[in-house]
Structure 1
Amino acid sequence: MAPQSGTSKKQNKAAKNAKMTAARQRVAEQRERDRKAAKRRSILIGGTAAVVAAGVVAGLAAVVMTSDDGKSGNNLSGNITADVSAAPNISSPIEGVSTYTASQGHEPNKNITYKQTPPVGGQHDPVWQNCGIYSQPIQDRNGVHSMEHGAVWITYNPSLPADQVAKLQTKARTDFMLLSPHDGMSTPITVTSWGFQLKVDNPDDPRIDAFIKQYRVNKQTTPEYGAACTGGIGKPE
């Protein structure tokens, strides 16, 4: 067989060089794709970590807010007296109801003193009490916030007989109602909404139902009408 000509050798060499160049280009392109994929993974992992971190921070905030078995207002510093005044110029259609004007405002780091027992409004905790029935006293500062949202709060002397407490529980089994015992009251039962208060001697007093109908989630008397009475603190029965 005749030896390859010089031209054929040059053509073969050129073809090999072209294949090697193409191979190097494919390797470079693959490396670039790998680099971009790694960058995307890094961004995704970083974003996921940020979301997780945010969730952890939010969870810790929620734990702090609702710590101590559903009680807030711990680690308070400083003292204030809630700004609440009698309002004889405001009338109520229900006989015996006392009326008040009350300032609003959240005081997360203050010990709040209320001049009325139980309170009828004024500065309060940033977190409201979940509406419902409680067999133990709740903190005034959280109950006041619930009334700001439209709740009616029935309180009773801890020594009230069980059968009378049961009657109050029947009245409180609806939305935007709070029921709990309370120390230091001048009458066995007190019914309160923001700025209005009725003191009675027994659960059969018809004015209790009239009060609830008049002031529970009342657009005209609820400072923050439309706000919730769930999602706060406390575990009602």
Structure 2
Amino acid sequence: MKGVHFLVAFVFLALAASFAFASDPSSLQDFCVAINDTKDGVFVNGKLCKDPKLATAKDFFFSGLDIAGNTSNPLGSVITPANVAQIPGLNTLGISMARVDYAPYGGLNPPHTHPRATEILTVLEGTLYVGFVTSNPDNRLITKVLNPGDVFVFPVGLIAFQLNVGKTKAVAIAAFSSQNPGVNTIANAVFGSTPPIRSDVLAKAFQVDKNIVDHIQKQFWDVNN
């Protein structure tokens, strides 16, 4: 019986240890302002960090989310990010934001994924049709029409989109659970990669004629960020 108790205790401790090492370690300092200086910086979580004693308010500040973005592009949308690239003080803090502007009726933030972050979107102006698709095997589409003040969550890594279905411009603020959420626009990645994916691969994947794939791959793939 003692042997059984020992085995149970050993398994429990082993599982606890595995859980403990499965996540990022807690920060041992207040912040880690990102810098590009390879001489004096300390490499932490993908960025070099300056001496904390040299940090200033500028490292934690960004101005510009009040400025409307130019939506005169094929997608009719533009993203103004406020992540670690704009705010060095976000490094290691696991959070960031962005402003999204949508042109009147039809402005689209096309199907995309954020590989490193869950997104929570708050509509400030306009009316948005938003949604995401669950993973295999269900691939269930979950959608909602949002109005000013409404909030919607897009789980990390899932394909998501937003479309302006109102007659006026729309504006939203997005918050992310990462200092650098990343973005992978599906159409650009599949049909606009460099070098391109072989057309016979895509023709079979989408069950269409190879000539259709060739035509799509020749298009100009615009980005809104």
Same fold flag (TM > 0.5): no
Query: TM-score under structure 1 normalisation?
Result: 0.27
More helix, by proportion? 1
Structure with a larger share of its residues in strand: 2
- Rg bigger for which structure? 1
Report the TM-score, using the length of structure 2 for normalisation: 0.28
